[in-house]
Amino acid sequence: MDYRRYYQPGARYFFTVVTANRKPILIDNIDRLRVAFKKCITRFPFELEAIVVLPDHLHTIWRLPEGDADFSKRWMVIKRQFSSGLPQATVSQSKLKKREKGIWQRRFWEHCIRSEDDWRRHVDYIHFNPVKHGYAGKPSDWQYSSFQQAVDQGWYEPGVLITDDFDGIGRE
């Protein structure tokens, strides 16, 4: 398969990453996921601008360092670090050949952020996602997101209501 990604050094990217077969393992292993992100950021720095973790997928926005566009390497590190120590799922021969444990879907969705408006819509999408999926009544009710940090940074007024007008955003 000739899959092409757009690599832009120093850019901001929105990502959707999903567990294999949508297995709901992320919240139960949230500390493991946090460690995986911290270890990756230590080795391969990037700025984590927004994130939401749901049981079977996550969305995030990263800003890569100037001169560096290798988000694929970073996702490989995060996925491997998270998967290390977890029991292997039943996997195909092709996954075995690639040393995959069957924890994650192979690929991920990425979108290069093109403007401040594009960034804002994706940040809102991330923070509204637990509401969209029925996990929370409002973004501030979901503890596995960066919503409160966004409020603390002045990106949202306290008590703000985010609507679900997100045509064309995200892959789930």
Instruction: Please confirm, yes or no, whether 6 is among the known catalytic residues.
Output: no
Residue 102: pLDDT band by 50, 70, 90 thresholds?
confident
Q: Which of 13, 125, 144, 156 is catalytic?
A: 144
Beta bridge mates, 12: 63
Q: Collect all residues with Cβ–Cβ distance below 8 Å to 74 and sequence separation of at least 6.
A: 40, 44, 46, 62
The DSSP element (H or E) to which 109 belongs, if any, is strand 109-112
**Whole-number Å distance between alpha carbons of 109 and 96:** 23
CATH number of 12-114: 3.30.70.1290
- Per residue in 111-147, pLDDT (tens digit) is 999 999 999 999 999 999 999 999 999 999 999 999 9
- This prediction has a pTM of 0.88
pLDDT-derived band at 4, boundaries 50, 70, 90 = confident
- What is the Rg, in whole angstroms, of the alpha carbon atoms belonging to the chain? 16
The model's confidence at residue 162, banded by pLDDT at 50, 70 and 90, is confident
How sure is the predictor about 95, in pLDDT bands with cuts at 50, 70 and 90? very low
Q: How far apart are the first and last CA of the chain?
A: 21
Sheet with strand 47-53: strands edge to edge:
47-53, 57-63, 12-18, 109-112
The residues, any chain, with a CB within 8 Å of residue 43's CB and separated by 6 or more, are: 77
pLDDT score of 93: 45
**Per-domain residue ranges for the chain?**
12-114
Residue 56 and residue 19 in contact, taking contact as beta carbons nearer than 8 Å: yes
pLDDT for res 86: 79
